[in-house]
Amino acid sequence: MVQTDTSETRALRLDADDPLARFRREFLIPEGAGGQPAVYFCGNSLGLQPRNARRLIEEELDAWARLAVEGHFHAVRPWYSYHELFTESGARLVGARPGEVVMMNGLTANLHLMLASFYRPAGGRTKILMEGSAFPSDTYALQSRLKLLNLDPAQHLIVLHPRGGEENLRTDDILAAIEQHGRELALVMFSGVHYYTGEYFDLPRIIEAAHRAGAFAGFDLAHAAGNLPLELHGWNADFAVWCSYKYLNAGPGAVAGCFVHERHGKDPSIPRMAGWWGNDPSTRFRMHLNAEFVPQPGAAGWQLSNPPILALAPLLASLEIFDQAGMAALRAKSLQLTGYLESLLDQSPPGRVRSLTPRDPERRGCQLSLCFERGGRELHQALTQAGCICDYREPGVIRVAPVPLYNSFHDVWRFHRVIEQHV
């Protein structure tokens, strides 16, 4: 065991040296025990409120009050083109080109839209490969899509589990499964970071293997967007979806993201579930005179409805912060912050706490999923009482996400102090 300096002084020094420390002040942190700010380690579930969110929502409420329908064109940020405010920042977030990303709907709705376009079973190519113990909504979406097509999920959905006694999937095993099922695969669909174990999958290699097998590769980036630098365009992903209320801090039920690779975005022949907001804007308002759907190029061509402006406003506040901080700098701090947490936990007596998350920092984002030998639930209660907010999942797993935008090294130190007293 490597000896670690567990002193509070060290934590405070790390904060003093942190070039991103100022971003903590851009967020509203709930109060914890004794009036101190809580140690908020639940950003993987619901990110904190950016200070600017309220102002941006109020500006739209004012525009609505003053301008009513005229707000579509005459608000400071005209509602008609409001979604275009995310063209650049949304693309930067996931390593896409402008036009490849649109913010719309919820994650699961976007997943269904993407499945309609990119899961098109034909001939012997009918199967979908996904990771095991996935977030239930993803499993439900895939199963229900299969049933809509009269295909039996038991036969057409291949679910990969880690080897016996292991917590994480090995990349080689994923690649081997893709190769093994090669000619039967229509789609390889994975999460970016596994919501439960925190494993970050090797997206570029999965994409490459899927394409070599002749299948599409799509991703649910709910736990990856805003957590890790992504290169969706360069990696050649076919599609991706994510929500904006976890690491993206855009508020409960926030408007989600959707990526469609340029090579598909410029192909109007791709079948899709269409709506008027996906139509070419130059003919959109010809209304019933324009009975034939003409998709606009890019991910925007998958939009259905005119966007919910009040719900999009906090996302604008959030992405401005991401642009200021930059994903590369956030990742650098994240590696340090989660590494610091891990090094403190390593000081615990052997066997008392074990992490389900890969130890290799390249194979994870900021989250560690901690499994306690006994008393996980009691420990979670003690943490809550001490003002540490993190989540508990049966059987005995506490997921903690030190978020580089607003968590400090001192937060990690305070969290560990509670752990120390209980394990």
Ligand X SMILES: *Cc1c(COP(=O)(O)O)cnc(C)c1O
Beta carbon of residue 130, minimum distance to ligand X (angstroms, whole number): 11
The stretch near ligand X (CB under 6 A) out of 69-77, 105-113, 296-304, 412-420 is 105-113
Longest dimension (CA), the chain: 73
Interface pick for ligand X out of 41, 195, 239, 247 (rule CB under 6 A): 195
Interface pick for ligand X out of 87, 191, 197, 303 (rule CB under 6 A): 191
Position 106 contacts ligand X (CB under 6 A): yes
Beta carbon of residue 225, minimum distance to ligand X (angstroms, whole number): 10
Q: How many residues appear in the chain?
A: 423
Q: Strands (DSSP E) along 30-72, which ranges? A: 39-40, 49-50
Residue 242 parent element (H or E): strand 239-242
Position 224 contacts ligand X (CB under 6 A): no
Q: Helix or strand or coil: residue 185?
A: strand
Position 220 contacts ligand X (CB under 6 A): yes
Cβ proximity to ligand X: between 48 and 222 the closer is 222
Cβ proximity to ligand X: between 135 and 413 the closer is 135
Position 222 contacts ligand X (CB under 6 A): yes
Pairing of strands 157-160, 127-131: parallel
Contact 183, 213 (CB under 8 A): yes
Position 229 contacts ligand X (CB under 6 A): no
Q: Which two tokens stand for residue 313?
A: 């406003």
Closest CA to 100 of 1, 236, 198: 236
Cβ proximity to ligand X: between 104 and 418 the closer is 104
Binding mask 108-127 for ligand X (x = CB under 6 A): x-------------------
State the sign of the Cα–Cα–Cα–Cα dihedral 223, 226, 227, 233: positive
Task: Give the CA radius of gyration of the chain.
Answer: 22
Contact 244, 317 (CB under 8 A): no
- Binding to ligand X (CB under 6 A) within 124-153 occurs at 135, 137-138
- Binding to ligand X (CB under 6 A) within 231-250 occurs at 243
Residue whose entry in the numeric block shows the structure tokens 């580089």: 404
Beta carbon of residue 108, minimum distance to ligand X (angstroms, whole number): 3
Positions that interact with ligand X (CB under 6 A): 106-108, 135, 137-138, 191, 195, 220, 222-223, 243
